[in-house]
Amino acid sequence: MELTAVPNLDFFYPHPGMKFKNGRYELLRRLGSGAYSTTWLVYDEMAEDFCRYAAVKNLTRAATDEQKSGTMNELAFLKAIAAIAPDSSLPVLLDDFEIVGPTGPHLCFVVTLMGLDVISFRRSAPNKALRPYIVKKIISDVVESLSVLHESGIIHTDVQGNNVLFGGVDPDEIKEELENHPPEVIGQFELSDGTKHYVFAARPFIGPARWNMSHLKSEAQAYRLIDLGHAQWAGQQPTVTTFGSAALRAPEIVIGSDFGPHIDIWAVGCLTYELLAGESLFNPVGKDDREMEVELLSQIFALTGERYSELILSRAQWSDDFLDKEGNLKGGNVLNPTSVEARLSSRGFISEAEVKLAADFIGQCLKVEPANRPSAEDLLGHTWLYGAWCCNPDH
């Protein structure tokens, strides 16, 4: 294999068979990666037989430094969850340690092993949408996770489908998967000291669940809300100013006002629509961040029919960048009014009864006034979510 260009050395590039923490964890396969980490399947030599497989999240050098400086607090959040709610639908921290790579130390978290993300799962369906009873179970588990986080004073800030994974992987399935799909080298590079390193393809565990699984199997499936890398402590000054992907960003974040747990509830509404409809609820585009956020606000106002309250505007840092003195957008397209119910109905494959209840659930999440959104605990009692547990296709 020919040498490729040296990749981003902020990352650590391990290989299958490498062992961490004095030989305790043997790396088996790369599972995935993000902007600040890679995740690997490991075999734990010291664990009980039923839980010998786990996942190691290996942070970049920059993310490791930010953990130590307090800009990122994922380790602190994981430890808080492990102490307060170890049985929740959140990642369970099993261990943490540092390894040293060519450019310095990298922090590692060992967490319970999980499967595929729900966006990849959604895209496996012919119409790119999931059946309502499956969506209800996913969203129920996400909201339950948020209830635990918010009760613990933690704001996730990045609720999206890529951060919701199937929970629990059968050890026998892991062995079969490793036999059928061994690690795949997709590149190699050489450092200045002459050492060669390999880049391995990421392959998450897909598992046995299918887009058309039965009501009974759906009810038995568990989902975990992961990635607390951008999470924040409620009631404290945020360590960053921008949160989440633009399409799921709450309107108060755009103008720098009223940061709090309610931004997670907004994202739940957007995610619910995406899983049901097979498309994003908002799709802002622009040549720069400001133009994109103006377009986002234009779409939000057209969908909800709501505007910022005077109270929200009085506390905003950047309202003058987006709004004139009358509260109208500076620029942006003038869009025809619509509604969540109309958008869901237009997809053509969701029943009328389902549309009404789902639209009410989503609409409750998408109040422009943050104080008018329900808490995660309140959302768990919404009628639409009852179908997550009773296996009734009419709910």
List Cβ neighbours of 202 (8 Å cut-off, separation of 6 or more).
30, 31, 32, 33, 38
Which of these, 368, 377, 232, 392, lies nearest to 312 by C-alpha position? 368
Q: How far apart are the first and last CA of the chain?
A: 55
> Which residues face 164 on adjacent strands?
225
Answer for the pair 108, 57: CB distance below 8 angstroms, yes or no: yes
Question: What are the two backbone dihedrals, phi and then psi, of residue 143, each rounded to the nearest 5 degrees?
Answer: -65, -35
Answer for the pair 43, 25: CB distance below 8 angstroms, yes or no: yes
Answer for the pair 272, 330: CB distance below 8 angstroms, yes or no: no
Which token pair is 284?
């802002």
Which token pair is 349?
């494959």
Which of these, 73, 79, 108, lies nearest to 92 by C-alpha position? 79
Measured at the CA of 122, the angle between CA 266 and CA 151, to 5 degrees, comes to 35
269 Ramachandran zone, left/alpha/beta (phi>0; psi -120 to 50): alpha
> 57 a known binding residue?
yes
> Which residues face 166 on adjacent strands?
223
List Cβ neighbours of 293 (8 Å cut-off, separation of 6 or more).
246, 249, 254, 284, 286, 322
* CB environment 362-373: b (16+ within 10 A), e (fewer): bebbbbbbbeeb
Which helix or strand (DSSP H or E) is residue 286 part of? Answer: none
- Helix H segments across the chain? 61-69, 74-84, 118-123, 132-151, 171-180, 215-220, 251-254, 262-277, 289-304, 310-314, 319-322, 340-346, 352-365, 376-379, 387-390
Inter-CA distances, 368 with 33, 251, 355, Å: 33, 7, 21
What residues form the annotated binding site for ATP? 57
What residues form the annotated binding site? 57
